[in-house]
Structure 1
Amino acid sequence: MSLAAPQAVIAVLNCGSSSIKFALFDAAAAELPRQPWWGGKVEGIGSARPRLQTADGLDRVLTLGEAQPYHDALAVIREAIAARLGAVPVRAVAHRVVHGGAHHAAPLRVDAAALAELRGFIPLAPLHQPFALEAMEVLLQQRPDLPQVACFDTAFHHTLPQVEQMLPLPWSAWERGLRRYGFHGLSYEYQSIVLPERHGELARGRCLVAHLGSGASLCAMQGGRSVATTMGFSALDGLMMGTRCGALDPGALLYLMEIEGLDVHEVGQMLYHQSGLLGVSGRSAEPRELLAIEAEDPRCAAALALFVRRIVREIGALVAVLGGLDLLVFTAGIGEHQAEVRSRIVAGLGFLGLALDEGANARNEAVISAPASAVRVAVEPTNEEWVAARQALQLLS
C-alpha cells in the first residue's frame, strides 16, 4: 500500500447489515491500482462493542447511538477518511449494491430518482440493499455535490440466456420481473478480468467460479461471460450458506406456514438468519469453527457434509450446462482460505478427473491441482471494491 498521498481518490463503500467496509483507490493514477491506497471497516454495528479497524493498524472500540447506529458508523467512516486524506479530494463514492433489477446492466449515477427506484428492490435483498441505500441517502443530504455511483451485483449476469433467467411460473410472473437475476457479480466480474491474465485460454473456455463466503454461489462462464449461476430471484437460492438455506422445496415453506403456523416474517427470519451451516449445526456459521469440533459433534459433521454435498451437486449441474470443465476457481473467504473444504469438494468431483496437489492446497497457492488433474483447480482472491471503483471511474470519465 502506497504511503504517498494520491492527488484524488475514489471511495468505495460495501455496506452490510452489521458492517461497512471502505476503501480508497488512487483515482489520479494512469491505471487504477488494484490494491486500495487505504481502507478499513466498521464491524459489529448494533452490537455492544462495534469496532473501527483500518489498514494502518488502527483498532478502536466505538460508541454508536442506539437510535441510529448505522448513521453513526457512517459518520465515523467519513471522519476517518477526512482525517486520512486532508486536502486530497474524493472524486466519487462507489457503492456495492446487491440488486439492480431487470434493467440495470451497468453502473448508475445516484440521485433522488435512482434512490427511489432502488428501494423497490429491498425485498429481493433485505440483508444488504437497505444499508447501501441508507449510505447513499445520507451522502445525498450531506454532500449533494459529491458524485455517487451504484455498482450492481446483478449486472454481470445480464448475459444469462433467457432459458437461464426464466422461472417455471405463469408467464405473467416473467412479465412482472420474477426471474433469475444472479448475484456476487462484482466478484465474478473481477474473476473475468484476472483469470485470463493468470490462466490464459483456459479462463476463456469452460470456467466455473465458486464464490464461497458467508454468502455463496457458483457462476459458469464461457468467454468470460456469465452463462449460468446458482443464485436466482433472490440471494437465498442455490448453495447452502452460513445462515441462509439455499435452494429449498417450496412445499416446505407452505408446510411451515400452513401446518406449523409461521407467518411471513418468521419464515423470512428462518431462511435468512437461522438456516444454513448455523441452523444445521446449531453451533456456528463458520466452517473453520465446525471443522474443529466435527469429530465430537455429529450435527457439525452433518452440516459440513451437507454444505459440501450441495456444492458438489451444483457444480455437477453447471458442468452439464457448460458441456465440460476446463478451470475450477475458488474465491471469497471460505474459497480462498479453507483448504479442507476445498479438498472435500474436489474429492467429490473425482468423476470429472479432478485431483489436488494437497501441499499446494494447504498453502492456498494460486494453482492447487495436481499435474495429472484433468481440470485445473485454482484459488484466486476476489476484489469487489476495485471493480466498483473501476466502474465508477469509467462512468464519470
Structure 2
Amino acid sequence: MTNIGSTSFKFQLLAMPEEKVVAKGAVERVGSSSAAARYQIIPAGDGGVGNGGAGNGGVGNGDVTAQTAAKVINIDTSIDTSGTGGGYLACISHMLGVLQSAGHSFQAVGFKTVHGGTLDEPVLVDDSVMSKMEDYSGVAPAHNPPYLAAMRAFRQKLPAMPLVAVFETWFHRDMPLPAKLYAVPYEWYEKYGVRRYGFHGASHRYVSQAVPRLLERERERQKVKGLEKDQRWEEGAGRAGRAGLADRAGRAGRAGLAGLAGMASLRIISCHLGGSSSICAIRNGVSVDTSMGFSPQSGLPMSNRCGELDPYVIRYIMQKTGMDFEQVLQVLAEKSGLLGISGISGDVRDLLAARDKEPRAAAALDFLLYEVRKYIGAFAAAMNGVDAIAFTGGIGENDVELRRRLCKDLSFLGVELDEEKNASACGSRGLVDTIISAPTSQVDVVVIKANEELIVARETYRIVKAML
C-alpha cells in the first residue's frame, strides 16, 4: 500500500487476508540526490510472508515491530532520486530490490488516491482513471500529480501488476444531498460535479469501524467487572436511535452505549487532525457530513493551507497586491493555515513551544481549536446528538493538551475527560485505541491509532480477488 506526497514515498507490505504488516518504509526528500530511506522488514520465512504465502507472524495496525518474535531488518540509507519521473521510479526500484532481497513478492499495489471527482469508488487503475485524476490535478495540486507520477513509475517497472486506486472521496459519496450541495447554480452540480466531496476517507472509514469495536470491548470488560447492574445494558440495547441520551449522565459504568445491537445506531464525530485535517459526521457507519469540500483546501485550517475562505478575498488581494490568480492560490496552499497566522511554523509542536512568547503562535492554536469545536457542535446538531468523539491523525493521537482544551469547552454536550487516561494516550508511548472520557461522560471520547493503509489494503484485496 502506498501513500504518496509531493516529496515523500511511504509504503506498507501486507499479507492478505490475514491483514499482517510484514514490511514498511518511507523515503523523504524525494527528488533529491540524497533522499533518506528507512525500512523495517520481516524476512520471508521468519514470521513474514513471501512469495504470496502466509507465514506465522507479522503484525497488524501498521507496526512491524510490535509484539513479534520475528526477526526485523532495519535499513537506514540514502538513495539518489534526482532522476526522471519526480524521483518515484528510483524509490520504487530501490524498494523492490530491498523487498526481493528479503524474499518477498507481491501481487497488487494499492494507492490512497485523493481526488477523482465523480470517480469516487475503488477501481483498477487504467488510462481513463489517470485521465480523470489529471482533470482534478488543478483542484488537488499537492496530491494528484505525485500519485500520477508514482502510478506511471509502477507501470514502467511492473507493467503486469494490478494497480488499485482507493479514492479518499469514496467514504463520503453517500452523504445526503443537503450535505453535498453548494449554494451555486444547480447546473454546476449536475454538469460539472461542483459539490462537497470530502477527503481523509480511509481514515474516517477506519474510525467508523474501530470505535464500535473499542466500545464493545469496553462493554465486555465492564461485564466482567460486574458493573452491568439493574439491566442497564439491556435498557440501552432496546432504545432505538439512542433515545434518552441525557439519561446517561447519572449512570455508573458507562451504561447502555455499547449495548446497542451491533452498535449500528452510533453517531460518531471523527476528528482527523494532523498536517492536513478534517472532521466527519458518521451515523450508522456512513459519512453524513464532512468539513472538507470540493478540494482538500477547504474546511479546517491546516499546516500551510488556509481552509475555509470567502472567495472574494482572492479578488481583493489580487487588486491590492498585483498578484495574479495562480500566485494567490499558491499563497493559500503553501503559506497560509497555521503557518500563515503564526508566521513561525505550521507544526503544532512548534506553536506549543512558542506560544508563551509569540502571541501569533497562541492565536494560531486558538483558531484551530475554535474551528474544530465549531465543526463538532455543528455535526452534533446535524445528527441530533453525538455518542462518540474520536481523535486520530498525528495531532489527534499525540497532542494531549489540545485534546484537553478541546474537550473542556464541549461540556455543553456532556463531555467529561479523564485527565489521567488522556495523558497516557499518546503515540510516543505506544498508542493503542483507548477511551479517554470519564465514566460519567455522556459522550464517549476515544483516541484511535490511524490505519488508513489497512482500509486501502482491504479494498485492493477485494478488487484483485474478484479478478481471479
Structure 1 length normalisation: TM-score? Answer: 0.91
* Structure 1, 347-356 or 385-394: larger mean CA deviation: 347-356
2:172 is the alignment partner of 1:172:
no
Secondary structure at 2:130 match in 1: helix
Structure-1 residue corresponding to 2:8:
19
Once the two structures are TM-superposed, the CA of residue 71 in structure 1 deviates from its matched residue by 3.1
In 1, the alpha carbon distance for the partners of 2:182 and 2:387 equals: 28
Structure 2 gaps, min length 5 = 41-72, 217-256, 426-432
| Equivalent residue for 2:76, pick from 41, 48, 59 | 59
- The Cα offsets for residues 254-299 of structure 1, whole Å up to 9 and x where unpaired, read as 2112332221221121111111111111111111121112111111
Secondary structure at 1:37 match in 2: strand
1:305-320 mapped onto 2 (5 Å cutoff): 305-320=366-381
Q: What number of residue pairs does the alignment pair up?
A: 379
Structure-1 residue corresponding to 2:161:
146
Structure-1 residue corresponding to 2:222:
none
- Counterpart residue identity of residue 9, structure 2: I
| Equivalent residue for 2:462, pick from 390, 394, 397 | 394
Structure 1 gaps, min length 5 = 1-11
In 1, the alpha carbon distance for the partners of 2:130 and 2:175 equals: 26
Contact 2:99 2:105 in 1 (8 A): no
In 2, the alpha carbon distance for the partners of 1:262 and 1:66 equals: 33
In 2, the alpha carbon distance for the partners of 1:140 and 1:70 equals: 11
Identity of aligned residues (%): 37
Structure-2 residue corresponding to 1:334:
395
- Counterpart residue identity of residue 324, structure 1: G
Once the two structures are TM-superposed, the CA of residue 14 in structure 1 deviates from its matched residue by 0.8
- Counterpart residue identity of residue 296, structure 1: K
Structure-2 residue corresponding to 1:79:
97
In 2, the alpha carbon distance for the partners of 1:138 and 1:52 equals: 18
Structure-1 residue corresponding to 2:18:
32
- The Cα offsets for residues 323-361 of structure 1, whole Å up to 9 and x where unpaired, read as 111100000110001111111111121221211111111
Secondary structure at 1:124 match in 2: coil
Structure-1 residue corresponding to 2:117:
101
Structure-2 residue corresponding to 1:5:
none
| Equivalent residue for 2:28, pick from 26, 32, 43 | 43
2:444 is the alignment partner of 1:376:
yes
Structure-2 residue corresponding to 1:158:
173
2:139 is the alignment partner of 1:124:
yes
Structure-1 residue corresponding to 2:345:
284
Contact 1:17 1:127 in 2 (8 A): yes
- The Cα offsets for residues 135-172 of structure 1, whole Å up to 9 and x where unpaired, read as 11122223221111111100000110111111111122
| Equivalent residue for 1:233, pick from 275, 291, 294 | 294
* Structure 1, 64-73 or 352-361: larger mean CA deviation: 64-73
- The Cα offsets for residues 168-197 of structure 1, whole Å up to 9 and x where unpaired, read as 111221121111000000111111222221
Once the two structures are TM-superposed, the CA of residue 48 in structure 1 deviates from its matched residue by 7.0
Secondary structure at 2:173 match in 1: helix
| Equivalent residue for 1:69, pick from 73, 78, 87 | 87
Contact 2:305 2:337 in 1 (8 A): yes
In 2, the alpha carbon distance for the partners of 1:48 and 1:313 equals: 44
Structure 2 length normalisation: TM-score? Answer: 0.78
Deviating 4+ runs (over 3 angstroms): 46-49, 200-204
In 1, the alpha carbon distance for the partners of 2:178 and 2:33 equals: 47
Once the two structures are TM-superposed, the CA of residue 66 in structure 1 deviates from its matched residue by 5.8
Structure-2 residue corresponding to 1:9:
none
- Counterpart residue identity of residue 314, structure 1: Y
Contact 1:100 1:155 in 2 (8 A): no
